[in-house]
Amino acid sequence: MTRRAQPLLLLLATLLAAGPAAARDGQALFAERCQACHTVQDAPAAERWRVAFTQQGPSLAGAGSKFNPAWLVAWLQQPGSLHGGSYPYFRWVQRTPEGDRLPTRAFEHLALNAEEAQAAATYLGTLQAELQAFPPQPALAANTTRVLYDKVAACSGCHSPDAAAPRTGPLLSNAGQRLNPAWVDAFLHDPQQLGTVNMPKARLRMDQVAALAQYVLNPPPAEPASPAQAPAAGTPPKALDASAPRGALVYRVVCSQCHGVDGDGRGINARFLSVEPRNHRGPEMDKLSDEHLYRVIRYGGTAVDKSALMPSWASVLNDAEIQDVIAYLKTLRQRTD
């Protein structure tokens, strides 16, 4: 039996043992206690940025294909933060003299008893996504995979090994227990196929994606953590609500991760990248044509002879959305706060 098949068989065994009644009970429980923060359906294309901006918790569409059922049952009884307590990042970000930071926050999530957790997990297990299957790939050297993770795909820029230095992506320390390997493969190949809006599709070979998937599921032992430092006092960014222009919403949800909520190039993830993100409020922006901005957003930094750490957002943004972002970039030069 392959390692990929085991989580799926476990899922089927869980569903068969619980039965349809448990799934119905779980659906009723979800409607009563969960759907205020979580959705189980992908947002309509015309509304996806407003939905992404206003959501209180991550979408659970396709949760049955994503999560290990045993892990999910245990987590629902004793929930813990997968994002350092500051999900979504753009709602909790604080501006500090050293750049944007996420505050250390207590995690708040309702806990279910064992029967409720089993019912909820059974219902979520019925929410299946179509996962594309990929043939086995040759293993890559460990140092090659680490370079892919840190420098090429820049995974470490968004994903922290622990909650002491939260970034915009979920923690990956327990991904091997939490996630279905087949889902990880499919997600890394095409995140948008599985509904995400803030992780672009990487330009990687199949063997590189397979190596990253194995690295995520089987990370090396964590290095000893350095003593935690108290975060600098911060202030919230300029208020923004769902009625803002689409370009502003896209920038806050997607671009601010690295370029900052104010566009100053000092986003939450900026200090974890080997190349500093561009300051979108700097005078050099006046020299960049709309065509240049379009190329770098759609095709990535390499399209304009800049860093590959600026990814291509072609898999996430359509032409109209890119033009909206370009229009918003022009407003950043006019701001003085």
Domain residues for 18? 5-217
CA 65, chain centre distance (Å):
17
Residue 274 φ then ψ, to 5°: -80, -15
CATH number of the CATH domain containing 321: 1.10.760.10
Residue 250 φ then ψ, to 5°: -60, -45
Q: What is the pLDDT of residues 104-141, one digit of tens each?
A: 888 899 999 999 999 999 999 999 999 988 999 999 99
**What is the Cβ-side half-sphere exposure of residue 281, based on CA atoms within 13 angstroms?**
14
Number of domains in the chain: 2
| CA–CA gap between residue 192 and residue 199 (Å, rounded) | 8
End-to-end CA distance of the chain: 59
Q: Are residues 194 and 250 in the same domain?
A: no
Q: Are residues 128 and 258 in the same domain?
A: no
Q: Are residues 157 and 279 in the same domain?
A: no
| CA–CA gap between residue 273 and residue 206 (Å, rounded) | 24
E strands present in the chain? 94-96, 99-101
Q: Mean pLDDT of residues grouped by 10 in the chain (337 residues)?
A: 48 55 90 94 90 93 96 96 89 93 89 96 96 92 92 89 82 93 95 92 93 91 56 80 94 96 96 93 94 97 92 95 97 75
Q: Are residues 130 and 22 in the same domain?
A: yes
67 three-class SS? strand
At residue 3, the pLDDT reads 47
17, amino acid identity = A
pTM as predicted: 0.88
Boundary residue ending a domain (217, 235, 258): 217
